[in-house]
Every structure is written in structure tokens, then in C-alpha cells.
Amino acid sequence: MLFLSCLAEKISLRAVSQFQAVSQLKDATFEVDPAPTVERKCLDGWTLHSTTGKCYKKFDEYLSFEEAETSCQQAANSSHLASFSSREEFDFLANMDYQNSYWIGMKQMALLGQESVLWKK
């Protein structure tokens, strides 16, 4: 059981489903039941990242970027080339026994200048 302390607007409910808001703000402590834990599972051969809840799989095929993205979509419904938004996700992907180069969900499309690059997601 979790306890959440917050500033809340007091609301009194009437039996006829109407409500009357009382415009006083009071410090209140609410008892909150935690959301039920849902066990995430991946398809056979895929690896679950416990923090993000996403499943990953390494494929050892030589494909172009576009072919690799299409292959991901065909391998599992709604899947795409892997991407990461944190150092933790990057480390997770980097530690999946990679011995070669692999596509991720971005591709350098063009050099725009000395300091600029256009990326395709």
C-alpha cells in the first residue's frame, strides 16, 4: 500500500450523481492502492528490457536500412529497428552480445554542413 501526500480540492458527492466543489484547498493524505503488476513477456528469442517493458531481438542478416526496418515489422507486429532514449537503454542494447555492426532506428541521410547531419527515424 502506498501513501500519497498532496494538496487537493475537497469535493463532496451527492447521491444523485451531482457534485459540489468546495473551493477550499487543504493538505490531505490519500491512501492509494498500487496499480496491479502486469507480467510482461516477449516472444521466443526476444529479450525483455525490464525498465522500458520493450522486447528486443538481434538478427544476424546483412540488410539495407530499409530492408532491416521491413524485416523488423514482419518479425513481430508493430516492431521497428531499436532506438534508445537513455544511457540505460543504450547500455542494454550494447550488451546484447553484439560482435558486428547493427542498424538502429536512425540513419544518416545527408550531411548538411560541417556540424549538421539529417537523420531519418
pLDDT for 89-113, tens place per residue?
888 888 876 666 777 777 666 666 6
Grid coordinates of 11: 469535493
Please tell me whether residues 101 and 60 are part of one structural domain.
yes
Please tell me whether residues 17 and 74 are part of one structural domain.
no
What is the distance between the alpha carbons of residues 107 and 104, in angstroms, rounded to a whole number? 8
- The string of DSSP codes covering the chain is -EEEEEEEEEEEE-TTS-EEEEEEEEEEEEEEPPPPP------TT-EE-TTT--EE--------HHHHHHHHHHHSTT--S---SSHHHHHHHHTTT--S----S-EEEEE-SSS-EEEE-
Any domain includes 108: yes
Domain that holds residue 56: 47-120
Please tell me whether residues 59 and 89 are part of one structural domain.
yes
Q: How many domains does the chain have?
A: 2
Please tell me whether residues 70 and 26 are part of one structural domain.
no
Most confident stretch, 34-43, 44-53, 98-107: 44-53
Whole-structure pTM value: 0.54
Please tell me whether residues 86 and 54 are part of one structural domain.
yes
Residue 38: predicted pLDDT:
64
Cell 542494447 sits at which residue?
93
Q: Residue 115 — pLDDT band, cuts 50, 70, 90?
A: low
Neighbours of 68 (CB within 10 A): 20
Please tell me whether residues 108 and 66 are part of one structural domain.
yes
Q: Is 96:47 a contact under the CB 8 Å cutoff?
A: yes
Please tell me whether residues 53 and 103 are part of one structural domain.
yes
Flag whether pLDDT at 17 surpasses 70: no
Please tell me whether residues 18 and 75 are part of one structural domain.
no
What's the mean per-residue pLDDT of the chain?
A: 67
Any domain includes 38: no
Any domain includes 116: yes
What is the distance between the alpha carbons of residues 75 and 116, in angstroms, rounded to a whole number? 34
- Least trusted range by pLDDT, from 25-29, 47-51, 52-56, 79-83: 25-29
